[in-house]
Each structure stands twice: as C-alpha cells, then as structure tokens.
Amino acid sequence: MNSQDLLGTASSAAIRQYLRAAQDYGIEPVQALDAVNMPHGIMDNSISRTHGRAFQSLIRWLIEQTRDPLFGLKSSRYVQPGSYSLVGYMAMNCRTAREALHITPEYEAIVGDMGVTKIEKYGPHLAMRWVCQYDDPIVRPHMIDNVLGSWLVFARWLADMQDGKPECVLFERNKPAPALLAVYEDIFQAPLEFGSDRSALIFPEPVLDTPLRQPDPTLLATLEQQAASVMAELQEKHPIVMQTRSLLRNLMEEDLPRRDKVATELGMTERTLQRRLQEAGTGYQQLLDDLRREVATNWLRTTNIPVNDIAARLGFSEARSFHRRFKAWTGMTPGEYRGK
C-alpha cells in the first residue's frame, strides 16, 4: 500500500483555492506546484484529482514560504462555488440552506478526502463539524481554519446575507495571540471558543430554512445524477485500507469501533475485511492503533482535554494503560508530550 493512498485524493478545484490565496504573497501557482512536484494540469483542470499526500505537502510548503500563521484562515476568503467542485454547484441550486447542508456529507468525497463533515446536535443548536483526516501537525490547524472560514464565506454568498454569522465557532487549536485573534473575529463575526474537543460552526436550527439566492431544482437534479456517478467511480477506486481508515476515524469520534461494525458499514463480512486488509499489507488492529496514536497526539497538542478523558475516549480501560502505550509510541508520557 502506497503511503499516499492513506490520505486519499483531493480535487484540483480545492487545491486552486490555496494557490489563488498564495498569489497575494507573491507566489505564482506554477512555482508552488513545481516546488512539490505536482502537475501543472491542476490549474486548468486537465488533471482533476491528485494524491492527498501531495496536497498536504503543497499546503505545508505554502505555510513555510508565506511565514503566515494564518495562511489557512486567510485563504478561506478565496472560496468560490467551483472550490467545492460539483458539490458547490449543487449547493448553488438548492432552495434552502437545509437542502444544501444535506448534500454536503453525502458528496464531500468529490471535493476530496481531507476530512469528514458531521451535522450534530449541540445543546439547543446544531453543529456543522469537520473532522480533519490529514496528519501533518503543521497543516491540520491551517486546513481546519480554511474549511470553517470557507463554509461561512460561501454560506453568506449563497444566502445573500453578508452579515450572516453563527452563534459561535469552535476550534480544536489553542487560542492564538491577540494580534492573530483579530483576524478570526473579522472573518467569523461571532464568539470563538478555542481548545475545544471539536471544530465546528454552531448555529440555530431555524437558520436552515433560509432561502438561497438562485434555486433551480431541475438543474440540481441533473447535477445530482452526475455527482452520484462520480461518487460510484471514486468508491470503486478507493483502496480498502483507506476506506477502513476513513470509517474508523469517523466512528472513533463516538466510541472505539468494533471490527464487525466496521465490516458491516463497508458492506462485507468480518472475514472478508480481514482478508482484504491482509492482502493490502496491514490489519484492522494496526490501522486502529495507528489512528489512536494520531488522535491522541493531536488532542494532546491542540486541546485541553484531560489525559484521563482522552484515554477513555480512545478505548483504554484505565489511564495507566494509555500512559504505557503512549510512551511506547512516542518515548514520552502524555504529560511530557503536552508540555513540550
């Protein structure tokens, strides 16, 4: 299994949003693509998708070149309907925000495998949450900032409500310095909560009934047919390791997933899942352990969730077991890792 496959693919449309933002820093798209050996066809869409690992490398290079700790957040201002590929054009033709919100989790793989969108209850409100799949600790907060900011900028345009704002915005990252915080406040225009256990826009449910600016149900039906065809093609090409890893990450947000549940979700028997993972050179337990390590290090680095709570949420029966496993993974205790 090629390591690039573990991050899936990304649409060229999503990549171009970052490249447009980079031009404000004097970085030309061709220069950036050449720096990480990505094809120029991304610019004219003659190449429609590329490896997620390459996309992550491109964002890392742009962050380093711009030396801007808010590059990801600022790039959200460059979102366009086309940034979301077919999904953006589908949203444009929906009648209400509720209809547009419904299609996002179903078809977001068309945009790329960068993360998973979830719609959850959050007290009396709803949370539109994004779980980032990328594993570079430098890239992740920039990408999360970009996604949340892009959602809001695009939603304001769709509803023709430039002053629209959520009830609040949750970030997994720690609170930035005051000078940086002002940029967040300018973009979101809402209360901000950092060090949260999730990244999400929080909004009252009645907002979903907001009419959108240019609904066209007939065109939407045509676009949905195209989207279904693209999704079928993507799912056929997705390697079993990536499918399992993506599903595990999704399910781990609620509880430590059982292998039989994962197999059922993937439409196969437990034995078939085990055999196909072995053929790909890995196993269920290895994938689960890799993700537990990834999630644990991310939560320790970017949130204030207590270590005991992290241990419980990752399926460790006692904190002591988690401490031993974490030290085997990193050579440090969870407390040492968080404090470094």
* Per-residue model confidence (pLDDT) at position 25: 97
Bridge partners of 123?
A: none
Amino acid 5: pLDDT? 57
Cβ atoms of 174 and 202 closer than 8 Å: no
Cα 61 to Cα 71: distance, rounded to the nearest angstrom = 11
Least-confidence region, from 57-71, 130-144, 237-251, 318-332? 237-251
For residues 279 and 318, which has the higher predicted lDDT (pLDDT)?
318
Contacts 24+ apart (CB under 8 A), 301-306: 301/137, 301/337, 301/338, 302/140, 302/141, 302/172, 302/173, 302/174, 302/195, 303/172, 303/174, 303/195, 303/196, 303/197, 304/174, 304/195, 305/197
pLDDT of 4 strictly over 60:
no
The whole-number pLDDT of residue 293 equals 86
User: For residue 34, what are the contacts with CB-CB under 8 A and spacing of at least 6?
Assistant: none
Helices marked H in 76-133 — which ranges?
A: 85-92, 97-107
Determine how many CB atoms are found less than 10 A away from the CB of residue 88: 19
Determine the 3-state secondary structure of 156 from DSSP.
helix
Residue 56 has what pLDDT? 96
**pLDDT band at residue 2 using 50, 70 and 90 as cut-offs:** very low
pLDDT of residue 1: 43
Percent of the chain with pLDDT over 90: 57
In this prediction, residues 33-56 reach a mean pLDDT of 95
**CATH top-level class of 239-339:** mainly alpha
- What does the mean pLDDT of the chain come to? 90
Give mean pLDDT, residues 263-292. 86
- Residue 249 neighbours by CB distance under 10 Å: 19
Residue partners of 68: CB distance under 8 A and separation at least 6: 25, 74
For the residues 268-289, what does the mean pLDDT come to? 85
251 compared with 6, residue with greater pLDDT: 251
pLDDT tens-digit series, residues 141-193: 999 999 999 999 999 999 999 888 999 999 999 899 999 999 999 999 999 99
Question: DSSP state, 50?
Answer: E
Sequence spans of domains, the chain? 69-217, 239-339
pLDDT given at position 234: 82
* Three-state helix/strand/coil letters over 182-235: HHHHHHHCCCEECCCCCCEEEECHHHHHCECCCCCHHHHHHHHHHHHHHHHHHH
pLDDT of residue 127: 93
Judge whether residue 3 has pLDDT over 60: no
Over residues 205-257, the pLDDT tens digits come to 999 999 999 999 999 999 999 999 998 888 777 778 878 888 888 787 777 78
